[in-house]
Structure 1
Amino acid sequence: MQKATGWLLAGVLGTTAATSQAATLEERMAAFEARASAAEKRAAAAEQQTQALARELQQIKLSTSTLPPAASTATAISAPALDTRLAKLEARQQSLEKEGNTGHLTDGFSFNGYARSGLLVDEGLGGGRGGPYTTPAGSVGGAVGRLGNEDDTYVRIDLSKEIHAQNGTRAKFTVSIADGVESSNDWTADESKLNVRQVFTTLDHVAAFKGNSVFENATLWAGKRFDRDNFDIHWLDSDVVYLAGTGGGIYDVQMSKNWRSNYSLIGRSYGDFSQGGINADVESYILTSNQFFDDGQWQWMYNAIGAKKNDFGTRTNKAGLTPADSGLHSMLANHQKTFFGREGFFKTALLYGQGLGAEVKNVGSDGELIDDARALRLALYGETPLASDWRIGPSLLAEQSKDRYVKGDDYRWLTLNVRLANRINSNFEMAYEMSWQTMNLDPKGYLQRNAVDGNFWKFTVAPTFKLDVADLLTRPELRVFASFMNWSSDLDRFSTTDAFGMTDFHAGGVWQYGIQMETWF
């Protein structure tokens, strides 16, 4: 394992990396452009009507103002009618001007989301077990392949409303609501984890910034959110980096032609505790600098984390040690818009953290870490056509961390995953996924966990129907699947509270079957 990890970490310097999920972004951009076009047409029509009415009003006012004092009886009789018509036209003009300013209620409104829901059945017709973090390494972020390995229903809905000021400034309010349950029932209120994941507002095209080359394209934001530039390995269901909480910041400060910057201050909570008659609400604060170079190809992220009350008095973590009250976290990433010169994309990221920053994926989220904690993680993944009707998405995720919760603990794991898809026709494909994970974990008794050393592997076949068979990230998908999993028997000893080692879920080989839908828009 040490040799493999060393080889991987040495290899990162020569590895190129890749773009984000272009298909999804293009779909969202197309939808936004369609809404913008419709709004512009309505505004143009209202403007034309306003101008026509203005010309008619001017003609009426001109005709009434030039009437001679001794007008004929017919003309005198028509004057009150002209006044009435004038009043109606002025009222209509004001209505049109108001409509042109505020637009229709649906203008600037967007509805986006993600959802998955499926049934997982084991070979004995019992409830299946699994999940992307089902292995012992999952306790410290070691994800495995998700295809044919999920038994939950999860949904997130993003609702946004954008408005424009006359000075050109745009504001956008967003709220995200999410829920996740493992029950197969139709009514799951008792198991529900309904949550407002985001509620924030942004300002961009800020009129006060016009003419300022540094801030002209900047976006201001405040509220509760996850960072705009988080990115993930979808087929592992693992974020590469995930920054989230409540606070504020600024995106896209243009430092120079090929250098833009994001800055934010985000707060998180480690919970409340009472000690010696003193109540304390433990808050963590993350100061973030995110730098992008060469049109976003290179990214350097740096986080400074502080939680002054986390080591208050004799407060301890679950291992009885004093937790850290600060930490550092950094990531260097490369986003390539090709797969080593071929169609597709590839990304590479190297992450390092210490203290509270040693949780390198969910930045600043783990208040149990001690001062000596150190972690190093490598992520590689991408997607490309393999042949005319085949696409492949390889990924690698590896981490070594030590002194996390107990001095002397040591966690080492590596996951290799390959997602394959064979296009049969425009709506049907055969999807395959192969995962292998190796781990050497020594928790030093933390949470009564035992040291284990072994491997896990999984193979899934999933006949899949899609709206359009374009690439691995095109959704929605309706799939049936069969998965075979097996692992080293030593891993059954890791914990008495995890899935491994249960009487109906232990080493020796497990078949599971299911049906699932997954969508985003």
Structure 2
Amino acid sequence: MQHAARYLLAGLLSSSATVSALAASPMTLEERMLALEARASAAEMRASAAEQQAQAIALELQRLKGGSPDLSASAQATAPVLDARLAKVEARQEALEKLGRSETQNPSKLTNGFSFNGYARSGLLVGEGLSGGRGGPYVTPAGSVGGAVGRLGNEDDTYMRIDLSKELHAENGTRSKVTVSIADGVETSNDWTAAESSLNVRQVYAALDHIAAFKGNPMLENASLWAGKRYDRDTFDIHWLDSDVVYLAGTGGGIYDLQLGDNWRSNFSLMGRDYGDFSATGGDGDVESYILTSNQFFADGRWQWMLNAIGANKNDTRSNAAGLTPADSGVQSMLAHHQKGFFGREGFFKTALLYGQGLGAEVKNLGSDGELLDDAKALRLALYGQTPLARGWRIAPSLLAEQSQDRYVGGDDYRWMTLNLRLAKEVSSNFEMVYEMSWQTMDLDPKGYQQRNAVDGSFWKLTVAPTFKPDMGGFFTRPELRVFASLMDWSADLDNYSDSDAFGEDGFQAGGLWQFGVQMETWF
């Protein structure tokens, strides 16, 4: 017993010395975190020793209070003394455990609860004859209805998004998090771009998790609540095409991670969006759309079923660009499989099938298109993944295809499919050769919507990009510094789709052309 007491006293003195040292000497944040983590570990060790001591005293008490005839009266008389000692040790044990928890689970004491991350890209695109390059993942006529093509060597913009978050922990264990995201995108290469800037607050919301009131309820104890302006946490994309598979965003609120069964997790939300000014005027008052979402996950998240109901009262009091009455409601659904591994190999593979009607016929950017007709319908398929191919080689294939009808004009028909393949060959610890091949076929019949013409043809692109990066950790290791050369060509018929798109413009016509550039891309 005396040995255990000395151990506890030494631990307390050590803890006090640590606090004095932290206060007296200038230390970096990382050093302070390490010191506090060490102190928390020591507290946990002392709590463990106290627990062992308490157990020993409890056993002795049990033996004494049992009134064994072999024990002397004096021995049994020590029981009240041991009772008092046991109470003190248990109280000390609880205090030590609380100290350990507070210093390991409360980041406000370690990092002040602040996080800074985001995404950015910036590059220069140069066309033949030193003309300005043109491009983008949606450069083709199919891009007008979501048909993305490969992005490598095909981007001429500067885009950034910064996410700022602050976490706080309440005494009852509830954690709150406030997030603000700021984004901007410009195509000019100038250093001062205020006149062209599209600076935007993309997210501002608050969330609660580890909610004390939910503890002990199996359905709610892992749930989180949120409200504000945000994009859905479980949105996912095909990075190589710069296309979300599904994108849910707006202002509203919801609950994540309801546990409805052993392998069944649910999210529910309500978000609002504004349609704003239509291409054609008319109607009565502002028009907003509301998206009610059910997102169900099964089998440890491998299967996902998403269902969205969209309503927009008064939307049918306006006219779209074709002079027709748009829908005031719609539905969209997605069934997705998130495969762990790439068919038995390292990596991942994802499959998604999406269908929508009415306002839900915009199956990717949910609730964002207010000109769709009641009869509009769309079916989209997305397949993509990545895996090591051979020693030093990685491969990332993807397919994105859609057929939609009666979107903006009765009888219109849009069909397109994109095949994309990105390859990377590691050359050294900081250098790799990256290749991307894209092919897109399309058959579009807009029936004169926005003065667009029916076209049928294909587009292809080949890009070679020598790339420097900090480590060869995979496709998603960033930052990447690239130089690149891209060769593109497309069917001459595609130049006739529209007077307002890039195809067919002077210096950007079918027949094959080269573009060159340099680019940075990172997330942090």
Give TM-score, length-normalised by structure 2. 0.80
- 1:203 maps to what in 2? 208
Question: Which amino acid in 1 is paired with 2:389?
Answer: L
How far does residue 41 in structure 1 lie from its aligned partner after superposition? 3.0
Alpha-carbon separation, structure 1, partners of 2:230 and 2:31: 24
Tell me: CA distance 1:198–1:39, structure 2 relative to 1, closer, same or farther (3 Å): farther
> For residues 309-359 of structure 1, what are the alpha-carbon distances to aligned partners after superposition, in whole Å with 9 as ceiling and x for unaligned?
1112xx100110001000000000000110001000000000000000000
3-state DSSP of counterpart to 1:280: coil
Give the Å deviation of 1:419.
0.2
Q: Displacement of 1:469 after TM fit?
A: 1.2
Q: 1:458-469 counterparts in 2 under 5 A?
A: 458-469=461-472
Range that drifts further, 263-272 or 505-514: 263-272
Matched, 1:373 2:376: yes
Distance 1:492 1:324 in 2: 31
1:41 aligns to 2:37 (yes or no):
yes
Contact 2:108 2:168 in 1 (8 A): no
Q: CA RMSD in A?
A: 2.4
Does the 8 Å contact 2:489/2:513 carry over to 1?
Answer: yes
**Residue 412 of structure 2 aligns with which residue?**
409
**What is the aligned counterpart of 1:511 among 483, 507, 514?**
514
Kept in 1, the 8 Å contact 2:107–2:113? The answer is no
Superposed CA offset, 1:455-493 (max 9, x none): 000000000000111211111100000000000000000
Tell me the equivalent position of 2:301: 296
Q: Which residue of 1 aligns with 2:185?
A: 180
Hey, what does 1:390 align to over in structure 2? 393
C-alpha distance 35-253 of structure 1, shift in aligned 2 (>3 A): farther
Which structure exhibits the higher relative contact order, with contacts defined as CA atoms closer than 8 Å and separated by 6 or more residues? Answer: 1
Pair 1:35–1:144, CA change in 2 (3 A): farther
Structure 1 residue 146 corresponds to structure 2 residue 135: no
Partner of 1:474: 477
Match of 1:286 in 2: 291
| SS of residue matched to 1:350 | strand
Q: Percent identity?
A: 77
Is 1:224–2:220 an aligned residue pair? no
Judge conservation of contact 2:287–2:315 (CA < 8 Å) in 1.
yes
Asked whether 1:317 is paired with 2:313, we answer: no
Q: Which amino acid aligns with 2:243?
A: S
Kindly indicate whether residue 114 of structure 2 is the aligned counterpart of residue 109 of structure 1: yes
Distance in 2 (CA, whole Å) between partners of 1:518 and 1:276 is 41
Counting matched residue pairs gives 437
Check whether the contact 1:272–1:280 (CA below 8 A) recurs between aligned residues.
no
State which of 229, 236, 240 in structure 1 corresponds to 2:241. 236
1:260 to 235, 241, 265: 265
Partner SS for 1:455: strand
Asked if 1:330 corresponds to 2:330, the answer is: no
Matched, 1:127 2:150: no
Distance across 2 between alignment mates of 1:257 and 1:386:
36
The answer to whether the Cα contact below 8 Å between 1:272 and 1:279 also exists between their aligned partners in 2 is: no
**Runs of at least 5 residues in structure 2 that lack an aligned partner in the other structure:** 1-29, 45-98
Structure 1 partner of 2:3: none
Q: Deviations over 1:70-126 (max 9, x none)?
A: xxxxxxxxxxxxxxxxxxxxxxxxxx9xx9889459421110100000000011101
State the distance in 1 between where 2:36 and 2:259 align: 29
**CA deviations over 1:404-461 (Å, ceiling 9, x no partner):** 0000000000000000000001100000000000000000000000000000000000
2: distance between equivalents of 1:40 and 1:293?
Answer: 40
Where 2:369 maps in the other structure, the secondary structure is coil
The answer (yes or no) to whether the contact 1:39–1:107 under 8 Å persists in 2 is no
Structure with the greater alpha carbon radius of gyration: 2
CA distance in 2: counterparts of 1:176 and 1:281, whole angstroms: 26
Q: In 2 relative to 1, CA 213–267 (structure 1 residues): closer, same or farther, beyond 3 Å?
A: same
Letter aligned with residue 37 of structure 2: K
Could you say which residue in structure 2 is the equivalent of 1:213? 218
Query: Distance in 2 between the 1:380 and 1:513 partners?
Result: 29
Check if 1:445 corresponds to 2:441: no
SS at match of 1:159: strand
2:166 is the counterpart of 1:170:
no
Classify 1:311/1:391 alpha carbon distance in 2 versus 1 (closer, same or farther; 3 Å): same
Q: State the partner residue of 2:355.
A: 352
Find the aligned partners of 1:239 and 1:280 in 2 and give their Cα distance.
Answer: 31
How has the CA–CA distance of structure 1 residues 485 and 102 changed in structure 2, closer, same or farther, with 3 Å as cutoff?
closer
Could you tell me which residue of structure 1 aligns to residue 487 of structure 2?
484
**What is the TM-score of this pair, normalised by structure 1?**
0.81
C-alpha contact 1:43 1:103 (8 A) present in aligned 2? no
**Letter of the 1:137 counterpart:** A
SS in 1 for 2:213: helix
Counterpart Cα distance in 1 of 2:282 and 2:491: 49
The letter for the 2-side match of 1:422 is K
Q: Would the alpha carbon gap of residues 324 and 188 (structure 1) be closer, same or farther in structure 2, given more than 3 Å must change?
A: same
SS of match in other structure, 2:342: coil
C-alpha change, 1:410 and 1:213, in structure 2 (3 Å) is: same
Aligned 8 A contact 2:282 2:319 in 1: no
Matches within 5 A, 1:486-501: 486-501=489-504
2:447 aligned partner, one-letter code: K
Q: Contact conserved, 1:153 with 1:182, CA < 8 A, in 2?
A: yes
1:185 aligned counterpart, secondary structure: coil
Is this contact kept in 2: 1:298–1:335, CA < 8 A?
yes
Amino acid in structure 1 at the alignment position of 2:456: D
Distance 1:367 1:187 in 2: 35
SS in structure 2 of the partner of residue 321 of structure 1: coil
